[in-house]
Amino acid sequence: MSGKFPEVQGGGSLILAWQIRNKHVLVIGGGEVAAGRILNVLNADAKVTVVSPREGLNEEVAYRIEKKQVEYIDRKFEPSDLDGADMVLTAVDDPEASSQIYKLCHERRIPANIADVPPECDFYFGSVHRDGPLQVMVSTNGNGPKLANIVRRKIAASLPDNTGAAIQKVGVLRRKLRKIAPAIEEGPKRMHWMSKICESWSLEDLCEMDEKDMDELLKSYKSGDVPCLHEVRHEGEPVVGFEGSFGWW
Alpha carbon distance 65, 88 (integer Å)? 18
Residue 146: its pLDDT value, please? 87
In CATH, which of 1.10.260.40, 3.40.50.1220, 3.40.50.720, 2.40.37.10 is domain 24-125?
3.40.50.720
Set 116, 122, 205, 213: catalytic member: 116
| Per-domain residue ranges of the chain | 24-125, 126-159, 163-232
What is residue 1's predicted lDDT score, i.e. its pLDDT? Answer: 57
Tens-digit pLDDT profile for the chain (249 aa)? 567 888 898 988 888 889 999 999 999 999 999 999 999 999 999 999 999 999 999 999 999 999 999 999 999 999 999 999 999 999 998 989 999 999 999 999 999 999 888 889 999 888 899 999 999 999 888 788 889 999 999 999 999 889 999 999 999 999 999 999 999 999 999 999 999 999 999 999 999 999 999 999 999 999 999 999 999 998 765 544 445 444 444
pLDDT at residue number 59: 97
118: which residues sit within 8 A by CB, 6+ positions away?
124, 141, 142
Other CB atoms within 10 Å distance of the CB of residue 55: 7
Q: What pLDDT sits at residue 235?
A: 78
* Burial class of 205 by CB neighbour count within 10 A (0 to 12, 13 to 18, 19+): middle
- Cα separation values, 180 from 132, 211, 225, Å: 26, 15, 16
Q: Give the pLDDT confidence score for residue 144 in this predicted structure.
A: 85
Alpha carbon dihedral 126, 131, 132, 134, in 10-degree steps, equals -60
* Catalytic-residue membership of 116: yes
Please state, in angstroms and rounded to a whole number, the distance separating the CA atoms of residues 13 and 22: 25
